[in-house]
């Protein structure tokens, strides 16, 4: 039913510039026994190699609660929320220390970033998280991300970091999401119970058949297992990121995947990341506002593919917030493009015709030099 990966598909990771790697708790903690120093060193070496190759890598890692339980001497996972949060708080100390130590030994800097789904649902916090992560990547630092279990109430559950990995892939517009697990990948059925089960080498992310193969919601197979990974791949595909589900026990799995080796299950996004992002912006039916730009700025963004700088803006319309999709109009009022605003309308009015060197004196801070960055801008039909 599902064939081997094609050379074009295998080339995806060879050419991937920005990759999110998610490792499961069973891998990080050696089946819950506490942090596996050897395994983390193994991944740290591979991550450092990928950075040396010029790639940008983000690690989403489970394991805080299991490590906290070990440090607290708890033989069994507690059921009370406050105890789980306490274990996560204790375990985070060891988790970040281990990653920092191992990555440092290979000459790579690291940073801890704790997120909740609420951080990624709120527009301002979403943009702030994205700016922080992209800055760290530009600096050659590997962000190590975990859910902020110490403050959430209903989000401590197995498989949640699969979803978090997909959300981070969307957040930073990654080329690919690699989910490392203790399984080799996805089968058409549970091979332990079905002798006819075959391995899924490649499929399209979001294919409804995949969820049934993974066990479906609420099944014994799917609970905390492959279903969360299949759903994460579907979510990551929304921003054009393809997903690979592979065994973390494979030797040099990250390096081999990024060479294009056919390891694991490849769930391909139906569209590329640039196309997916720009289609989403083009499809927005309700825009909160617009900026009017001069002829020079029209030429820069329409003909040269440049970002929109405030110095080229002559007016602001509507009431919009940072992160809203806005229209970009020429002097005659025709829409040239649309994109994500880096500044709210009140701030944009102050920045019209101003160079980036005065942003801080006008606003008290400077977020980005662009009003709309070229990666968050799509030309509309009237300008093509």
CA distances from 91 to 94, 98, 317 (A): 5, 11, 49
pLDDT for the residue numbered 280:
64
Quick check: 159 pLDDT over 80? no
DSSP 4: P
For residue 332, count other CB atoms closer than 10 A to its CB.
6
> Does the reported pTM lie above 0.75?
yes
Kindly compute the dihedral angle of the four CA atoms of residues 245, 251, 255, 259, in this order, to the nearest 10 degrees: -80
Coil vs helix vs strand at 267: strand
**Residue range(s) in the chain whose domain bears CATH number 3.40.1160.10:** 7-273
On the question of pLDDT at 279 being above 70, the answer is no
Confidence of residue 178 (pLDDT cuts 50, 70, 90): very high
**Residue range 6-55, pLDDT digits in tens:** 888 888 899 999 999 999 888 998 877 789 999 999 999 999 999 999 99
Class of domain 284-383: mainly beta
Query: Can you tell me whether residue 333 is helix, strand or coil?
Result: coil
State the Cα–Cα distance between residues 40 and 271, nearest whole angstrom: 33
Closest of 234, 205, 169, 170 to residue 20, by C-alpha: 169
Higher-confidence residue of 189 and 36: namely 36
Q: For position 268, what pLDDT does the model report? A: 93
Buried/exposed code over 254-288 (b: 16+ C-beta within 10 A; e: otherwise):
bebbbebbebbbbbbbeeebeebbbeebeeeeebb
pLDDT at residue 216 in the model: 53
Please enumerate in sequence order all residues whose Cβ is within 8 A of that of 363, keeping only pairs 6 or more positions apart, or say none.
347, 350, 351
Residue 257 vs residues 40, 163, 202, 296: alpha-carbon distances, Å: 18, 21, 14, 45
Mean pLDDT over all residues of the chain? 87
**Tens-place pLDDT, residues 96-116:** 999 999 999 999 999 999 988
Distance of CA 52 to the CA centre of its chain: 21
CATH of the structural domain 7-273, one choice from 3.40.1160.10, 3.40.30.10, 3.40.50.1820, 3.40.50.720: 3.40.1160.10
Per-residue CA distances from 359 to 310, 345, 349 (Å): 10, 14, 12
Is the pLDDT assigned to residue 223 strictly greater than 90? no
User: Which residues belong to CATH 2.30.130.10 in the chain?
Assistant: 284-383
174-178, 212-216, 317-321, 357-361: range with lowest mean pLDDT: 212-216
């Amino acid at each position: 039913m599902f064939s081997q990966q094609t050379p074009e598909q295998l080339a995806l990771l060879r050419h991937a510039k920005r990759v999110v790697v998610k490792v499961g708790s069973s891998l990080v903690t050696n089946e819950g026994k506490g942090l596996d120093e050897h395994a983390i060193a193994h991944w740290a070496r591979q991550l450092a190699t990928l950075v040396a190759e010029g790639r940008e890598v983000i690690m989403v890692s489970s394991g805080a609660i299991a490590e906290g339980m070990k440090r607290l001497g708890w033989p069994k996972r507690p059921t009370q929320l406050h105890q789980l949060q306490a274990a996560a708080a204790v375990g985070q100390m060891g988790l970040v220390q281990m990653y920092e130590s191992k990555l440092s030994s290979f000459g790579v800097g690291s940073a801890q970033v704790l997120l909740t789904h609420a951080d990624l649902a709120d527009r301002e916090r979403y943009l702030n998280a994205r700016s922080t992560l992209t800055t760290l990547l530009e600096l050659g630092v590997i962000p190590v991300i975990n859910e902020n279990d110490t403050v959430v109430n209903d989000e401590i559950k197995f498989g949640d970091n699969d979803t978090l990995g997909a959300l981070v892939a969307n957040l930073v517009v990654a080329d690919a999401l690699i989910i490392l697990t203790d399984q080799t990948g996805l089968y058409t059925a549970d091979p332990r119970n079905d002798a006819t089960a075959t391995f899924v080498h490649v499929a399209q992310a979001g294919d409804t058949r995949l969820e049934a193969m993974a066990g479906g919601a609420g099944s014994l197979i799917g609970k905390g297992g492959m279903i969360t990974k299949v759903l994460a791949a579907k979510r990551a595909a929304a921003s054009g990121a393809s997903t690979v589900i592979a065994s973390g026990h494979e030797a040099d799995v990250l390096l081999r995947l990024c060479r294009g080796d056919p390891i694991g299950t490849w769930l391909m996004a139906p569209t590329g990341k640039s196309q997916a992002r720009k289609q989403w912006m083009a499809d927005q039916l309700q825009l909160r506002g617009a900026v009017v730009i001069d002829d020079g700025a029209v030429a820069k963004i329409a003909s040269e593919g440049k970002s929109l700088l405030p110095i080229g803006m002559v007016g602001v319309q509507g009431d919009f917030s940072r992160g809203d999709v806005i229209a970009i109009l020429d002097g005659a009022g025709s829409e040239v493009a649309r994109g994500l605003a880096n500044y709210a309308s009140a701030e944009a009015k102050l920045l019209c015709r101003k160079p980036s060197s005065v942003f801080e004196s006008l606003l008290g801070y400077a977020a980005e030099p662009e009003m709309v960055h070229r990666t968050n801008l799509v030309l509309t039909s009237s300008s093509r």
